[in-house]
Structure 1
Amino acid sequence: MNALDPDPGTWLLDRIDAHEKTLTSQIEQAHAQIEELTGRLRELDQDLDHLRITRKTLLVLATAPDPAPPPPPTPMVPDHPAYQQILTLMIGTGQPTRARDLCLALDLPLERKNIENTRAKLKRLVSLGVLVEIEPGLFAQPRP
């Protein structure tokens, strides 16, 4: 054997070391890929769970009966007796009424100030939601 020729045992050990380094590098890369894929798999599982929950919620909502709407608030009628008299007459007739006709029914003189005061009270009842103005100057009870 020549002094320049490498020792066959050393040569084989060097080859084994090189191969071991290559395999170790590949293993580290594979572990990194596994960690990345495991993280991605967790994200996909979570997204799938969210979709399943959404589907389940939508199916429950689709089969559930619609909740009843809350009842409309009861309008507050002013305490003044004139408002009570107007409402009593409106309920009694059950027909749309004008301020002039209410003045007659209330035995008020058909003077401009009485008609205008009655119209103002009717407009206030409209603004409170107690009555509706179905056309200018014609007032009625709201329909349910």
Structure 2
Amino acid sequence: MGSLFKELEAREAAARVRVEELEAEAAELSGRLRLAKESLERLQIARETVAEVLAEMPPDKPVVVVGAGQPVAEEPDASAYAGAERHVIGVLTVPNWRPGMGPEVLPQVYRDIVEVVADAPGPVRAKQIVPRIGLPAETGKIESTRSKLKRLVERGWLDEDTPGMFTPARRRTASSDSR
């Protein structure tokens, strides 16, 4: 009978340890959830503030978009922004490709995508790129990458001759080869 009580005590101790481990995990997840909620709240406030600013702007004021690696162009009527150093509404993180521009001007994830497409032996799909840039092959990651690929096509960094099949932009490779 003594060994039965020892076995129950051992199982109880093991269960206590597991409960403590789960409580620690719950505390960590609770902290992460709190941080995620705070981030969400800040983003909601930012979106609401931008919507308010845009709603209050007179339609005749120009909207300036600053691209990565591009200088800020002079505004047509500088007196409209007296006292303000610069009035920027949006930032273009993926600039339109121009001759002489390399992938180093792109944000890291876009640079990685351009490099994977350039290294591929032929046209590639988003689902082929995702694992090569270090992301899990999940639907959300594939769709997010597809969106980035489409943006790179719009801005002249890549071509999409067949829907969903991406290649390096021909005009880029043709102008690069002629140097």
**TM-score of the superposition, structure 1-length normalised?**
0.45
Larger relative contact order (Cα-Cα within 8 Å, sequence gap ≥ 6): 1
The structure with the larger Rg is 1
**TM-score of the superposition, structure 2-length normalised?**
0.37
Q: Which has the higher helix share?
A: 1
Q: Which has the higher strand share?
A: 2
